[in-house]
């Protein structure tokens, strides 16, 4: 077993400098094997990646239902049963149906409380370290949702609160009700919209940032092929379909820097996220996901990898080469923060 440095997000929450996004262990990017997934989770903990991120909506929908399946949370429970004390555990609520099949959002008090109880049961734990509002209910004040989440903290069911894909004003409204430990949003070399408003507001409020898809859903690693995209959720994002070839120019820049450093493309993409977070002055903990134990170890090698000024500038410029939105065709634009700014 090894260890990684820790990073203080906000509200007194310290986590490993690299997290693990567990969504990839479900079938969203192709078929998965639960036993292999459990082995990958154990490998993550052994590598010092102790910040595990899931959500009630991740996983295969249950037959005859249209609500959050919770199967990804149940998968994590197989590891937590023996290693709970090693983990900083994050999960989310707020998406009420099957993503891509007319899913809605809820943030009312009754739903928040029931969602938390369901997650605690599926995870097999007494307390969630970081509880996120996954997406907000747009016709309900965010302050009502956060107040209900705050009740869970007071009752000891949750330790810290987080928000996903919120705008800067929404973050400020929420923080006025209860301390917010972290904002989660997509942030990478090819997804930088949060830098305009959300990241600066997080800095002002002392909130940490948790970038999901810091490897561009795998694209920035240079390992994604058109064949791998077919039949997965990635086939519903134009960056991976009609703009696939054009976006290889971004990967070329990442690979060039990787060759110079004797690193992998994934490690360079993560090093950029850390460097960008430092440039803004926001505590930053990316949560790449993978189904491979060896990739977890590889990603951990991105912690502490230093970029020269020239290398950082070239990677910054690669953002101008990106073609296509980061949103999926099955999602409304208001499901990402930039769609509401």
| Residue positions annotated with a catalytic role | 58
d(CA 323, CA 30): 24
Question: Alpha-carbon distance 252 to 14, whole Å?
Answer: 35
* Distance, CA of 153 to CA of 59 (rounded, Å): 26
SS3 string of 102-113? CCCECCCHHHHH
DSSP H stretches of helix in 93-175: 109-123, 142-154, 168-175
CA–CA gap between residue 112 and residue 108 (Å, rounded)? 6
Instruction: Give the C-alpha separation, 5 to 20, whole Å.
Output: 15
Are 328 and 236 in contact by the 8 Å Cβ rule? The answer is: yes
* Burial (0-12, 13-18, 19+ Cβ within 10 Å), 30: middle
């Amino acid at each position: 077993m090894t260890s990684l440095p820790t990073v203080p997000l906000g509200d007194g929450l310290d986590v490993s400098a690299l997290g693990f996004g567990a969504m990839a262990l479900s079938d969203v990017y192709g078929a998965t094997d639960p036993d292999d997934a459990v082995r990958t989770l154990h490998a993550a903990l052994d590598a010092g990646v102790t910040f595990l991120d899931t959500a009630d909506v991740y996983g295969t929908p249950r037959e005859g239902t249209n609500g959050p399946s919770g199967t990804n949370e149940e998968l994590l429970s197989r590891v937590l049963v023996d290693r709970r004390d090693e983990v900083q555990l994050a999960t989310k609520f707020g998406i009420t149906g099957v993503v891509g099949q007319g899913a809605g959002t809820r943030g009312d008090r009754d739903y928040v409380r029931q969602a938390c109880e369901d997650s605690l049961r599926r995870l097999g734990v007494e307390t969630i370290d970081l509880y996120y509002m996954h997406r907000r209910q747009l016709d309900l004040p965010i302050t009502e949702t956060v107040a209900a989440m705050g009740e869970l903290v007071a009752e000891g069911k949750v330790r810290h609160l987080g928000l996903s894909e919120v705008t800067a004003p929404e973050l400020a409204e929420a923080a006025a009700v209860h301390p917010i430990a972290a904002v989660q949003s997509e942030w990478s070399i090819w997804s930088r919209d949060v830098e305009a408003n959300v990241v600066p507001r997080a800095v002002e409020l002392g909130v940490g940032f948790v970038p999901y898809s810091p490897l561009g859903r795998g694209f920035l690693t240079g390992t994604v092929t058109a064949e791998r995209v077919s039949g997965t959720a990635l086939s519903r994002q134009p960056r991976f379909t009609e703009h696939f070839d054009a976006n290889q120019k971004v990967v070329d820049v990442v690979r060039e820097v990787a060759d110079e450093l004797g690193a992998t493309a994934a490690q360079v993409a993560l090093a950029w996220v850390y460097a960008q977070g430092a440039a803004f002055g926001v505590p930053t903990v990316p949560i790449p996901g993978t189904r491979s134990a060896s990739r977890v170890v590889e990603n951990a090698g991105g912690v502490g990898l230093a970029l020269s000024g020239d290398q950082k500038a070239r990677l910054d410029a690669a953002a101008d080469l990106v073609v296509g939105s980061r949103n999926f065709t099955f999602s409304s634009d208001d499901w990402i923060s930039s769609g509401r700014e």
